[in-house]
């Protein structure tokens, strides 16, 4: 009897949640003429949107051939219903605004997430999807491939660049050369990366099917990405339609994320690698280290053990740099020289930053003999030796 009651309550709870989240359909929407197809489309779309609040890999309503292209869009939908301001997990509801049958017998779906407060409609976001008919239901994809079907492509190794008109071949070759160097360090193979080159964030959003999202009001530039299996997709929305620029610092982070999620690595070590191998904000490692010495390491009373627990920063131009990342860059340089990158890899994998850094210090001692007790002394010696 107790089990029956518990199961019944769970069913009622799930049903209530499904009703809260269910798709709203305006009376003037032109639905498919075939009532069976119309019902299947609406049911599948509703199930797709409910599944979009779960991990992407668990969504069974994604079009099989365009998963990674759809993941990047679904990242923008996950959590879309919640409102911190109104303290309501289901404040924003999905409203179907348009269905259009396309020439290839797919459907263009347009919908918006809207919340109502004191008779005022608050728009959170608007999205476009492509609906693909299966036997008795539909699956859905981002319109990215449809929107870029007339774009050009350039393939260099496992790097595939998608662009509208022209591309900077010299920059592409420089980029791919550095990519190969990072991959050799990381022992990363057979990772396929697609890069889409856009003018700005507005174009980026439209390409992947985000017609509007309140979170990005006033923002002009960004870079978005998604991963699936041995593939990664990166969309540049930072004035880079011709691939004229790239950041070696961010490139290291991107390549590392192909072999291990960044959430699982030690961020200060990860950043130390990126600073050492790629500089930052358009400045080289030497330029950044010079600023670090002039602004931070000129104070001989600094205890680097304390800095690790209580971060301080310094400036390079208009940009802020944590001092501990530079210290980790020096340690990475020392470890790689003495142990090879396998030693750096071991320090990278001590896990996320934690107060006290016990795992970090244990691994550092194993690799270098540097302990928490003599850490400050050894860091000062590394700073003196660096030129």
Are residues 239 and 275 both part of a single domain?
Answer: no
Cα Rg of the chain, angstroms: 25
Are residues 125 and 166 both part of a single domain?
Answer: no
Instruction: State the residue range of the domain holding 338.
Output: 267-385
Query: 195, 225, 259 — which closes off a domain?
Result: 259
Query: 259, 278, 295 — which closes off a domain?
Result: 259
Are residues 183 and 103 both part of a single domain?
Answer: no
Are residues 234 and 294 both part of a single domain?
Answer: no
Residue 293: which of 330, 334, 248, 250 has the closest Cα? 330
Are residues 186 and 288 both part of a single domain?
Answer: no
Q: Could you read off the pLDDT of 202-241 as tens digits, one per residue?
A: 999 999 999 999 999 999 999 999 999 889 999 999 999 9
Q: What is the pLDDT of residue 262?
A: 85
Who has greater pLDDT, 5 or 36? 36
Number of domains in the chain: 3
Per DSSP, the residues of 169-190 read HHHHHHHHHHHHHHHHHHT--S
Query: 128, 147, 166 — which closes off a domain?
Result: 147
Percent of the residues in the chain that have a pLDDT greater than 70, as a whole number = 95
pTM of the model: 0.86
Give helix 248-257 / helix 169-186 axis angle, nearest 10°.
Answer: 50
Residue 69: which of 160, 175, 156 has the closest Cα? 160
Are residues 28 and 7 both part of a single domain?
Answer: yes
CATH number at residue 123: 3.10.450
Are residues 86 and 192 both part of a single domain?
Answer: no
């Amino acid at each position: 009897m107790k089990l029956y009651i518990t199961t019944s309550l769970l069913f009622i709870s799930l049903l209530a949640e499904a009703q809260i989240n269910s798709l709203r359909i305006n009376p003037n929407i032109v639905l498919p003429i075939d009532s069976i197809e119309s019902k299947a489309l609406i049911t599948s779309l509703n199930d797709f949107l409910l599944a979009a609040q779960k991990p992407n890999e668990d969504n069974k309503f994604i079009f099989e051939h365009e998963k990674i292209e759809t993941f990047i869009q679904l990242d923008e939908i996950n959590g879309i219903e919640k409102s911190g301001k109104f303290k309501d997990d289901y404040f924003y509801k999905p409203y179907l605004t348009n269905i259009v049958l396309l020439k290839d017998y797919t459907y263009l779906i347009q919908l918006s997430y809207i919340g109502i407060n004191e008779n005022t409609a608050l728009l959170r976001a608007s999205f476009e999807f492509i609906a693909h008919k299966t036997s008795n239901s539909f699956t859905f994809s981002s319109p990215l491939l449809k929107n870029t079907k007339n774009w050009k492509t350039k393939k260099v190794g496992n790097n595939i660049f998608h662009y509208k008109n022209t591309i900077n071949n010299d920059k592409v070759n420089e980029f791919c050369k550095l990519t190969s160097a990072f991959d050799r360090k990381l022992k990363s193979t057979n990772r396929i990366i697609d890069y889409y080159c856009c003018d700005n964030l507005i174009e980026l959003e439209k390409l992947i099917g985000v017609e509007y999202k309140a979170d990005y009001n006033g923002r002009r530039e960004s870079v978005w990405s998604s991963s699936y299996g041995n593939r990664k997709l990166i969309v540049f929305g930072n004035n880079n339609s011709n691939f004229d620029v790239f950041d070696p610092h961010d490139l290291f982070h991107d390549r590392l994320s192909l072999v291990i999620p960044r959430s699982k690595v030690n961020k200060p070590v990860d950043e130390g690698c990126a600073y050492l191998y790629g500089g930052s904000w358009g400045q080289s490692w030497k330029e950044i280290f010079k600023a670090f010495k002039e602004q931070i390491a000129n104070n001989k009373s600094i205890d680097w053990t304390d800095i690790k627990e209580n971060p301080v920063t310094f400036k390079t131009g208009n940009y802020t740099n944590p001092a501990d990342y530079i210290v980790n860059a020096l340690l990475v340089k020392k470890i790689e020289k003495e142990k090879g990158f396998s030693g750096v890899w071991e320090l990278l994998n001590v896990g996320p930053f934690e107060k006290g850094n016990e795992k970090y210090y244990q691994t550092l001692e194993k690799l270098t003999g540097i302990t928490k007790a003599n850490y400050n002394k050894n860091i000062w010696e590394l700073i003196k030796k660096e030129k």
